[in-house]
Structure 1
Amino acid sequence: FLYVATNTDFINSFDPEVNPYGGGSIIALLASALGTGLKFKLIMLITTVGQIFCVTACLTSCSRMMYAFSRDGAVPGGNLWKKVNKQGVPLNAVIASAVGGAVLTLPALWKSPTGAPTAFYAVVSVCVISLYLAFLIPIYLRLKAGDSFKPGAWTLGSKYKWMCTLAVAEIVVVSIYFILPFTPTGTPGNKDFTWTSVNYAPLVTGGALIILWLWWQLSAKKWFTGPKRTI
């Protein structure tokens, strides 16, 4: 709320003729506060470089997990994704991760008739929800294990109880927030409802979870025995 309130205070106008960057983006905030001169361009350059670092981190994380799960036989075509080159890089997994990310992001290039980057917002929402759900799994399992969990050398002690509970609650709230419609016209049942305003994040995330659940029930649980130990 504070973030949105601050943005609204700084943005001088939602009129496209006054503020061509729109009223709901960080670009609009920066343009209103700094103008469109050198300062604005410098900040945008720094932001762009930061985004490149974020992409690199995401690609590294995704390819590493794809390689690890393929090595354990948990990913279709695992023999291809677990291969490494002379430098020890799982190149096939890196390429597959990059292509998958590019395909998922393609809808963001489409511009809604309303002018709002609805598809881009949905892509961001899918990424946030997926990342948070990945965090949720080990946190919830740690909380569920309770005192039967065998901690390592570094441990939170008994503080894990309130920390894990708070983390789970925060992830649930954030995940719900990111599946809500962006505008009233994207809400089913609204008289002005249009599919061009729909937040497809819950459709993509929910669809992926359903497919994975069916795959597990119909096939994977019959042959996957867990991580393969080499020590």
Structure 2
Amino acid sequence: MATNTDFINSFDPEVNPYGGGSIIALLASALGTGLKFKLIMLITTVGQIFCVTACLTSCSRMMYAFSRDGAVPGGNLWKKVNKQGVPLNAVIASAVGGAVLTLPALWKSPTGAPTAFYAVVSVCVISLYLAFLIPIYLRLKAGDSFKPGAWTLGSKYKWMCTLAVAEIVVVSIYFILPFTPTGTPGNKDFTWTSVNYAPLVTGGALIILWLWWQLSAKKWFTGPKRTI
């Protein structure tokens, strides 16, 4: 009989049906699969529903704001609001985009791990950190030529920005790594259903955005539009 550690770390679905190293496997090992385990999973599921709602709200509002500035293709459609003041088209587009991003979940990983869920989380983390990285790096690059506002870090920005950039690079590398041996290119058991597609999605999006900027957007985009 496998020990708890063997169970948690195993990528064999016959030993660990939850996926090697997953938090579900850890909870199942600690609590069993009875009532306590199910209660924890219920609380986790409800929490994730709240998280999805918050992400959908944030994404749709940002899509609305950027569309209003003319920075999103089809912006005239996404910036429309209904009678309740909700950018409904942006909400629907955000929901559809999230569903498409999760479509690989329809193909089960041979290890039992929720590969698509891990990949979507990785995409979100990397994208969010890249959004932080851009202004932090530009501030660091500007150096003393940058004109600070009323609130400033003073000269501390030098080591703070450097540390932040380094941390973002490390975290981003971590989140593009394979989840399991079967998701590692070159492995004899490699299968696409185990692949962490976060680097493919993020890298593809960055390439498309760069091409769009070089070929079109930089010729007409003038920056945020003042509405007050």
Q: TM (normalized to structure 2)?
A: 0.87
Q: Distance in 2 between matches of 1:93 and 1:6?
A: 49
Corresponding position: 1:202 with 2:199: yes
Q: Percent identity?
A: 100
Change in Cα spacing, 1:16 to 1:193, as seen in structure 2 (3 Å) is closer
Partner residue of 1:213? 210
User: Would the aligned equivalents of 1:11 and 1:33 in 2 still touch at CA under 8 Å?
Assistant: no
Structure 1 residues 94 and 6: CA distance shift in structure 2, 3 A: farther
Which deviates more from structure 2 when the two are superposed, residues 110-119 or residues 29-38?
110-119
Native 8 Å contact 1:108 1:123 kept in 2: no
Q: How far 1:77 sits from its partner (Å)?
A: 0.9
CA distance in 1 between partners of 2:211 and 2:13 (Å): 47
Q: 1:12 to 1:129 in 2, by over 3 A?
A: closer
SS of the counterpart of 1:134?
A: helix
Greater shift after overlay, 144-153 or 78-87?
Answer: 144-153
Question: For 1:79 and 1:125, how far apart are their aligned partners in 2?
Answer: 31
CA distance in 2, matches of 1:62, 1:124: 14
**Kindly tell me: are residues 46 and 151 of structure 1, through their superposed partners in 2, closer, same or farther at Cα, counting changes over 3 Å?**
farther
Change (3 A) 1:10 1:139: farther
C-alpha contact (below 8 Å) 1:185/1:197 kept by paired residues: yes
Q: CA deviation at 1:14?
A: 6.7
Return the alpha-carbon distance in structure 2 between the equivalents of residues 127 and 164 of structure 1.
22
> Which shifted more, 43-52 or 108-117?
108-117
- The normalised TM-score by structure 1 is 0.86
Q: Give the whole-Å Cα distance in 2 for the aligned partners of 1:109 and 1:135.
A: 32
Distance in 2 between the 1:166 and 1:101 partners? Answer: 32
Flag the 1:209–1:16 CA change in 2: closer, same or farther, 3 A.
closer
Distance in 1, matches of 2:145 and 2:116, equals 45
Question: Matches of 1:10 and 1:184 in 2, distance apart?
Answer: 16
| Residues 211 and 12 of structure 1, relative CA distance in 2, 3 Å threshold | closer
Q: Is the 8 A contact 2:12 2:111 kept in 1?
A: no
Match of 1:32 among 29, 34, 56: 29
Unaligned runs of 5+ in 2: none
Deviation at 1:18, TM superposition (A): 6.0
* SS of corresponding position for 2:216: helix
Q: CA deviation at 1:15?
A: 6.5
| Contact 1:125-1:201 within 8 A present in 2 as well | yes
Q: Deviations over 1:15-51 (max 9, x none)?
A: 6566543432111111111122222222212211221
Distance 1:140 1:91, change over 3 A: same
Q: Which residue of 11, 14, 25 corresponds with 1:14?
A: 11
Matched, 1:86 2:83: yes
CA RMSD of aligned residues (A): 3.2
Point out the more displaced range, 143-152 or 43-52. 143-152
- Residue in structure 2 matching 1:151, options 141, 148, 151: 148
Q: Deviations over 1:50-90 (max 9, x none)?
A: 21121122112111111111111111111111112222221
Counterparts in 2 of 1:86 and 1:133: CA distance versus 1, 3 Å: same
Number of positions where the alignment pairs a residue of Structure 1 with one of Structure 2: 228
Q: Assess, with a 3 A threshold, how the Cα gap between structure 1 residues 197 and 146 changes in structure 2: closer, same or farther.
A: same
State the 1:216 CA deviation: 0.9
Unaligned 5+ residue runs, structure 1?
none
Q: Distance in 2 between matches of 1:181 and 1:67?
A: 34
Secondary structure of 1:44's counterpart equals: helix
| Residue pair 2:20, 2:111 contacting (<8 A) in 1 also | no
- Judging changes above 3 Å, is the alpha-carbon distance between structure 1 residues 80 and 25 closer, same or farther for their aligned structure 2 residues? same
SS state of the match for residue 102, structure 2? helix
